[in-house]
Amino acid sequence: MTVDVDFGDDGLVPAVAQDAETGEVLMLAYVSPEALDRTRETGYAHYYSRSRDELWKKGGSSGHLQPVREVRVDCDADTLLYLVDQEGGACHTGHRSCFYRTVDGEVVGEKVFDPDDVYE
């Protein structure tokens, strides 16, 4: 039985990407029904960019793909959890996780690539 995800009035739900092995939270992005369908069809994380107003495959331009092991839905069916095997960095800044700094500005995460080399 498939869970009916509640995409709400704007047609989007937040999705947390988490490393399937370590549990590290890598990023948060938004997912449309089409993005969820593409993720389930291909086995790779797809999201919806609110700023670009388009569907995108994680790693499509950087090569840092997110093969998805499992998609979970929360108790209210309005948030998703992607359990992924992150290839390279998840963050466009070059860090492994988008959550690489504290609120005080201390860098606590690992930088794994140079974004200038990837996003020309």
Return the domain boundaries, the chain: 13-91
Alpha-carbon distance of 63 to 40, in angstroms, equals 19
Contact between 7 and 30 under an 8 Å Cβ cutoff? The reply is no
Q: Which residue intervals of 1-120 are DSSP H helices? A: 33-42, 115-118
- DSSP state at residue 13: E
Residue positions forming the annotated binding site = 74-76, 78, 91, 98
Could you tell me the pTM of the whole model?
A: 0.94
- Residue range 13-91 forms a domain whose CATH class is alpha beta
Ordered per-residue pLDDT tens for the chain, 120 residues:
889 999 999 999 999 999 999 999 999 999 999 999 999 999 999 999 999 999 999 999 899 999 999 999 999 999 999 999 999 999 999 999 999 999 999 999 999 999 999 987
Q: State the binding site for Mg(2+).
A: 74, 76, 78
Strand 68-73, strand 54-57: pairing: unpaired
Output the known binding site for Zn(2+): 75, 91, 98
- Give the H/E segment covering residue 83: strand 80-84
**Whole-Å CA distances, 45 to 101, 102, 114:** 24, 26, 22
